[in-house]
Structure 1
Amino acid sequence: MTSNPRIGPIALPDTRARRVFQELLEGSGVTLNGDAPQDLRIYHPDFFSRVLHQGTLGLGEAYMDGWWECERIDEMACRLLRHGLAERAHTPSERLMYRLQAGFFNLQSRARAYIVGEAHYDLGNDLFERMLDPTMCYSCGYWKEADTLHEAQVAKLELACRKLALVPGMRVLDIGCGWGSFAEHAARHHGVEVTGITISREQAALARERCAGLPVTIELMDYRDLTGRFDRIVSIGMFEHVGHRNYPTYFATVERLLEAEGLFLLHTIGSNHSEITADPWINKYIFPNGVLPSAMQIARASEPHLLMEDWQNFGPDYDRTLMAWLANFDTHWSEIAHRYNERTRRMFRYYLAVCAGAFRARHLQLWQVVFSRDRPQRYDAPR
């Protein structure tokens, strides 16, 4: 499982860095070179100094390099977050640098909008096809009555359609349509016309293929360049890429595009605290320039433009979704291993497992929020 040629973990060095690291773990239920699934097994003597100097970036890169191993990274991450290591895991220089960048520069400007598409979503459709279920949903499933990943993703899509009260013939906009999962479902099962936009060329190509023969149009486009009017608007798993400086513009755009009595559903990962920073490892390797919104940030930015009708949190369902993706990834890796290297495999495993642990610890949330513009009638949200 590790790329390190040594058969077993090394003897722990008697260094100050190791002692400090071990003190941080005390009481978390995670030990060094232990036998429990959540324990870290160390394969490189410089592991401790690397992590103490580089924080979460160093921890993630050290795993990618084979410097440590853990049978259940998800459980390790959950325990460490519940132990309160979230803030201490970031070095002051990491946080300061990102705060300066995010404070003075628009990291999610039009000119930079396509960076995350090229870096992550364009990595390879073959990889995502094996990791995800047949719907190609790359967002949290709804597990209330589901037993499988596919059932959970279909339930999520149908829940969004019911919350939007779709009627055949409606014009629907999907901001951040991904590989066309919602567009295909809504057009096929609810008879609506869908315009979907994405900043990923690979997503756009596959979405057009999957939606062929349906009243669906897929465009490679930034949301700020949209024109027209729509009866309904949906955005699933895209708001995480908008950035705090652009929240007002985002909601003003939705208001401009939405018909007077229309509905807008926002499906997004949420942070428990208002931040403008991102985890350094996630920012570098998974979602460049991404940042998670807080409830306060969403409420403040949307208030001048839209009326909030409903807010649902099913964050724990993302833990189960991510673990299902991880199981798929491990099961099918051998089919695509010839196209990717071992470091990419470890990167994806670490990403999926750490994020699952974060949701399990309730460090992250998943929200579906329904908004209207000028809707006189009462709104009753399906569950």
Structure 2
Amino acid sequence: MSNTNRSIEPLFQTFANEKIKLSNRTVMAPMTRGFSPEGVPGEDVAAYYRRRAENGVGLIVTEGTGINHPASVSGASIPVFYGEDSLNGWANVVKQVHKAGGKIVPQLWHVGMTREKGDLPNQEALPVGPSGLSLDGEKVTEPMTEKEVVELVEAYAQAAADAKRLGFDGIEIHGAHGYLIDQFFWEKTNQRKDRYGGDLVGRTQFAVEVIEACRREVGPDFPIIFRFSQWKMNDFKAKLAETPDELERFLQPLVEEGVDIFHCSTRRFWEPEFEGSDLNLAGWTKKLTGKPVISVGSVGLDGEFTSFSGANTTSLDGLIKKLDKEEFDLVAIGRSLLMDPEWVKKVYEGRANDLLSFNKEALQKLY
């Protein structure tokens, strides 16, 4: 650590549990890029991820990549995680990241009812969700049958098996932001009366079966990260859990099925999750479950990501203080890394003045 400014030392300590060891506490947050024509990540995508590994990112979580279902993604250039061409593309991504000394996990994704009718790549495929309801609560399609739900569980499991086969270092299951798994969690979009509905715990059943099926395919020693959030893309104030007790009840079934690390998505990492405590969502999740957690939300920037307008760099002091107090274990960086592949290296070398502000033009290019 001799090269490291002591004030940021907690960020550059190694992280290890029984399933994964990382060189530092930094994580590249998953960010949809849309540079994979026909769902296939090419050499430019592999190089994009490799640059982050070369510059010291501890763990890369890929952009969301669609499981094997015709309505899993919404867009012809969003990567998918099935089919020979796409899986070969991902195999190259893994190869390039590992050559650079990095670690990488794919984020397994299904957008559910956020998909519009007629969206590419499969225009005829209708959006699917627990009750056929949009995030605004409007009926769009029929609820999924139990058979269809079980088939989706198996699609996640197949993706997990492929991730292990391709040499990834784990998987992340996307259960946040109002996408498919989160639509099962949320009372507004899940009004089922069968085993996939009911109260807060009952609504975790789909996620429980997904985690269980993935664990079956990858075995006991392969890391499973689970990303969840309170907020939804259409409702930043939405809450799955209003109190710590509710959060504990929600998380316990996921812990029991074998989640190794929770990725707790918030828009601003510094905001307390519940009144009466300074802990954010990640801090509470760690306290309640004892599991390692990733915190995320406008790290290093002064504007929240959901606006996707510009944002200036800002001090990391508050982040480091929370990390040093072990409120959370890992820190996911989104827009700062999207704009600047050298962000981690610059922070490590104390080059704060060289950090780049974020501008939305960065979304149009693979830096």
Q: Say whether the fold is shared (TM-score over 0.5).
A: no
Q: Which structure carries more relative contact order (alpha carbon 8 Å, separation 6+)?
A: 1
TM-score by length of 2: 0.29
TM-score by length of 1: 0.29
More helix by share: 1
